């Protein structure tokens, strides 16, 4: 059989199957006890007082901003290098995303650039824990405190990641997680909002369900952002496996780094001291010294059955949507350079030791011109 190593792969087992069958047999398919069980276990895992499940990660970010009261005339500082949802949810509130560049080392938002971009209209900063490596929350929380603004954690890629033993999702004022199929744990589509702030928690809960404080009694604006019991059933089972999934990712990342270290022109990802990386993606940067360019490397790997992806091919401000809104080109040089160089290699828990060895050997063959 021909070898094919996908760049990501959800892992489902008997636990997920039996929990979903239980829900189907119970006849209670919508928000209810299973969603509440998932929320309680997730809150306890992250170490926060409140967790609210919603239908996807974009909805989680949207509700987080709504709960902070972000609206027209407000500015929110976001990293220029992230998945588009991080910036789009700001536009969705009628507010203005202000792009900050990213740190060269981790490609997470650069606090110095954030500090430079604060204005009288700034209401919040969104810190993305990109690829599973936490952003510099200490510096960001200090800036936020100085300016009386909020920090929203976009933890869509970082379930279980830590800074000095504290899990992300419980460090900022409010956080959003995604359980999309490629994430470290999945419910197919799904999301969660976490917070310790009772006021934010109340507004999230109300917004999620048509602003009703009791059945058919609506005290504020809201929508339907609810998660189904089927999603939550998968989530409960996946959450119990999250630590073992993350350990497998960490082992795979270590083996990849060990194998790839000697290759010239290839910049490897790092884990900063005090930070726990959960390797949602293992992202190398293809530098000038490498014999082929990033896109050619991806093509050669694909021909040999190794799936890769580019997270992300453009900094957000260069996306046609943002250019059409008048953002000038080349605002954030580190993000622009990263977009030209990054390539995500498979690191997911379904990789066998042989798969990892094959990826390393294939990379070495390409680097030495044997392919
Ligand atoms: C950084 C980041 N933010 C937000 C999202 C949005 O999550 P979802 O796809 O579940 O809507 C994702 C995932 O796709 C993401 O990677």
* Domain end (from 237, 258, 287): 237
Positive or negative, the CA dihedral 14, 7, 228, 244 is positive
- What distance in angstroms lies between residue 367's CA and the mean position of ligand 1's atoms? 33
**153 Cα to the center of ligand 1, angstroms:** 12
Identify the CATH number of the domain in which residue 286 sits: 3.90.1150.10
Residue where one domain finishes, among candidates 211, 237, 263: 237
Mean pLDDT of all residues in 39-46: 98
CATH value at residue 28? 3.40.640.10
Specify the pLDDT at position 336.
Answer: 98
Look at residue 333 and tell me whether its pLDDT is greater than 80: yes
* Residue 149 CA to ligand 1 centre (angstroms): 23
- What lies within 8 Å, CB to CB, of 250 at 6+ separation is 277, 278, 279
- State which ligand 1 atom lies nearest to the alpha carbon of 191: 10
Residue 174 has pLDDT above 80, yes or no: yes
Is residue 291 domain-resident?
A: yes
Ligand 1 pocket member 128 (CB < 6 A): yes
pLDDT for position 370: 80
Total number of domains in the chain? 2
- 355 within 8 A of 259, measured Cβ to Cβ: no
pLDDT of 288 reads 94
Binding site membership of 344 for ligand 1 (Cβ less than 6 Å): no
**101-117 residue pLDDT tens:** 999 999 999 999 999 99
Are 150 and 129 members of one domain?
A: yes
What is the whole-number distance in angstroms between the Cα of residue 95 and the centre of ligand 1? 19
205 and 247, same domain (yes or no): no
For 44-102, how does the pLDDT look when each residue is reduced to its tens digit (9 = 90+)?
999 999 999 999 999 999 999 999 999 999 999 999 999 999 999 999 999 999 999 99
CB distance 75 to ligand 1 below 6 Å: no
Our mutation pick for probing the ligand 1 site, out of 178, 278, 310, counting the most ligand atoms within 8 A of Cβ, is 178
Is residue 68 included in any domain, yes or no? yes
Ligand 1 contacts CB of residue 79 (under 6 A): no
178 pocket-lining for ligand 1 (C-beta < 6 Å): yes
Q: Is 184's C-beta closer than 6 angstroms to any atom of ligand 1?
A: no
Q: What is the DSSP string of 212-261?
A: EEETTEE-S---B-BPPHHHHHHHHHHHHHHHHHHHHHHHHHHHHHHHHT
Of the candidates 318, 290, 304, which has an alpha carbon nearest to the alpha carbon of residue 361? 304
pLDDT tens digits along 343-371:
999 999 999 999 999 999 999 999 998 87
108 lines ligand 1 (CB under 6 A): no
| CA of 58 relative to ligand 1 center, distance in Å | 6
Residue 7 belongs to some domain of the structure: no
Does 1 score more than 70 pLDDT? no
Ligand 1 mean position, distance from CA 251 (Å): 24
Q: Is residue 2 domain-resident? A: no
Orientation of helix 229-260 relative to helix 353-367, angle to 10°: 50
Domain presence at residue 1: no
pLDDT band at 243 (very low <50, low <70, confident <90, very high): very high
Question: Is there a single domain that holds both residue 258 and residue 231?
Answer: no
Atom index in ligand 1 nearest the CA of residue 179 equals 10
Q: Is residue 8 part of a domain?
A: no
* Residues 205 and 250 placed together within one structural domain of the fold: no
Among the candidates 216, 237, 258, a domain finishes at: 237
Instruction: Say what percent of the chain tops pLDDT 70.
Output: 100
Q: Is the pLDDT of residue 233 over 70?
A: yes
Q: Which domain holds residue 318?
A: 242-367
Q: How many A from CA of 289 to the centre of ligand 1? A: 33
179 shares its domain with 87:
yes
Pocket of ligand 1 contains residue 83 by CB under 6 Å: yes
Answer yes or no: do 192 and 287 share one domain.
no
Ligand 1 atom closest to residue 59's alpha carbon, by position in its atom list? 11
Q: Are residues 45 and 149 in the same domain?
A: yes
The whole-number pLDDT of residue 371 equals: 75
* 76's tokens: 């929110």
In a domain, 5, yes or no: no
* Rounded average pLDDT over 270-291: 97
Nearest CA owner, ligand 1 atom 7:
57
- Cβ–ligand 1 distance for 156 under 6 Å, the answer yes
Q: Is 191 in the pocket of ligand 1 (CB under 6 A)?
A: yes
> How would you classify residue 119: left for phi > 0, otherwise alpha for psi between -120 and 50, otherwise beta?
beta
Mean of pLDDT values over 183-193:
98
- Whether residues 129 and 255 fall in one domain: no
Q: Taking all residues of the chain, what is their mean pLDDT, rounded to a whole number? A: 97
Ligand 1 neighbourhood includes 81 CB (under 6 angstroms): no
The pLDDT, as a whole number, for residue 2 is 78
Question: Is 58 touching ligand 1 by the criterion CB < 6 Å?
Answer: yes
- pLDDT for position 98: 98
- Is residue 252 within 8 A of residue 351, CB to CB? The reply is yes
């Amino acid at each position: 059989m021909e070898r094919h190593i996908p760049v990501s792969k959800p892992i489902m087992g008997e636990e997920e199957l039996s929990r979903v069958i239980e829900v189907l047999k119970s006849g209670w398919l919508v928000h209810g006890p299973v969603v509440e069980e998932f929320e309680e276990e997730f809150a306890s895992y992250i170490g926060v007082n409140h967790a609210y499940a919603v239908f996807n990660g974009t909805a989680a970010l949207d509700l987080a901003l709504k709960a902070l009261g972000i609206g027209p005339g407000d500015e929110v500082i976001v990293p220029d290098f992230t998945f588009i949802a991080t910036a789009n949810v700001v536009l969705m509130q009628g507010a203005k995303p202000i792009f900050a560049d990213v740190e060269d080392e981790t490609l997470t938002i650069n606090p110095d650039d954030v500090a430079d971009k604060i204005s009288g209209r700034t209401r919040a900063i969104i810190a993305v824990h990109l690829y599973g490596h936490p952003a510099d929350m200490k510096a960001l929380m200090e800036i936020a405190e100085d300016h009386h603004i909020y920090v929203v954690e976009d933890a869509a890629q970082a379930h279980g990641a830590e800074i000095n033993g504290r899990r992300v999702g419980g460090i900022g004022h409010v956080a959003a997680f995604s359980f999309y199929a490629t994430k470290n744990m999945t419910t197919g589509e799904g999301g969660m909002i976490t917070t310790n702030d009772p006021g934010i928690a109340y507004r999230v809960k109300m917004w999620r369900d048509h602003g009703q404080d009791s059945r058919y009694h609506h005290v504020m604006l809201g929508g339907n952002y609810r998660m189904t019991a089927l999603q939550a059933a998968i989530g409960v089972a996946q959450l119990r496996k999250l630590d073992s999934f993350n350990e497998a990712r960490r082992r795979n990342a270590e083996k990849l780094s060990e194998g790839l270290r000697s290759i010239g022109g290839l910049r490897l990802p790092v884990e900063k001291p005090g930070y726990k990386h959960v390797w949602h993606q293992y992202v190398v940067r293809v530098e000038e010294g490498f014999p082929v360019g990033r896109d050619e490397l991806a093509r050669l790997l694909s021909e040999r059955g190794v799936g890769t992806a580019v997270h992300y091919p453009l900094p957000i401000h260069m996306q046609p949507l943002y250019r059409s809104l008048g953002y000038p080109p080349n605002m954030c040089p580190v993000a622009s350079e990263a977009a030209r160089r990054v390539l995500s290699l498979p690191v997911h828990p379904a990789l066998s030791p042989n798969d990892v060895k094959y990826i390393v050997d294939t990379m070495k063959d390409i680097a030495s011109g044997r392919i």
